[in-house]
Amino acid sequence: MSIIVIGGHTRSVGKTSIVAGLIAALPTHHWTAIKITEHRHGVRSAHGETRDCATADHSWAISEEKDRSGKSDTSRFLVAGAEHSWWVRTDPGHLEEAMPRIRDILVSTENAIIESNSILRFLKPDLYLTVLDPQTADFKASAQTFLDRADAVLLHSAVNSKAIAWEHVSLKPAIDRPMFAIYPPSYVTPEIVDFVRARLALCS
């Protein structure tokens, strides 16, 4: 089994699109996709209720996506070709409590692709790609912490002459890693697919 982790420095930089794009580009890997979301006000579903593997205090919950409409991120993974898709929700700092269930899921998969930075505290993936957008100022502490573990950087190509929005952020930990330009809405380029395919081949 191979595990890929897709992280990024903040929300809405294309992480979900990259997960879906890699699933679609590498269908023979029979992916299980996992999206990890850390909420700040209790673990709830989109409709307000807890679902599936939820603890009594609602500090974490896991549910398997079955909807193939493509309306949610985890549904997009199924549409892209994932065999299974899971949504993990935790309160900040409670991901460790969900890890036994996540490991149970991983044990039964052929290959897994996980959208998260925080998961790197608890496992060492075969490949970690980080997504960076210099025009988006927010830079999560988790993204900075794990920058030196990135196997490659997926960098939004500048579309205008705006200055880099980050402050007090150093990319030195990843300066010697392969960097690939990405462009919305597809994000995943043939070069990225070739890189991922080659790295997975080394793991097999």
Within a 10 A sphere around the Cβ of 88, how many other Cβ atoms?
Answer: 27
54 dihedral zone (left: phi>0; alpha: psi -120 to 50; beta): beta
Judge whether 177 and 150 are in contact, CB under 8 Å: yes
Query: For residue 83, what are the CA distances in angstroms to 67, 117, 143, 198?
Result: 12, 23, 28, 22
Q: What integer pLDDT is reported at residue 85 of this predicted model?
A: 98
Number of domains the chain is built from: 1
- Cα separation of 193 and 80, whole Å? 15
Q: What integer pLDDT is reported at residue 53 of this predicted model?
A: 55
User: Which residues of the chain fall short of a pLDDT of 50?
Assistant: 42, 45-51, 56, 161
Q: What integer pLDDT is reported at residue 45 of this predicted model?
A: 47
Residue 115, domain extent: 2-203
Provide the 8-state DSSP code for 39: -
Q: Is the dihedral of CA 183, 8, 5, 51 positive or negative?
A: negative
10 Å CB burial of residue 189 (0-12, 13-18, 19+) is middle
**Using one digit for the tens of pLDDT, what is the confidence trace for 57-71?**
578 999 999 999 989
Judge whether 113 and 6 are in contact, CB under 8 Å: yes
Judge whether 172 and 196 are in contact, CB under 8 Å: no
Q: What integer pLDDT is reported at residue 40 of this predicted model?
A: 61
Judge whether 195 and 21 are in contact, CB under 8 Å: no
Q: What integer pLDDT is reported at residue 160 of this predicted model?
A: 52
- Cα separation of 120 and 64, whole Å? 21
CATH number (domain holding residue 80): 3.40.50
∠ CA 41-45-51, nearest 5°, is 110
Q: What integer pLDDT is reported at residue 141 of this predicted model?
A: 83
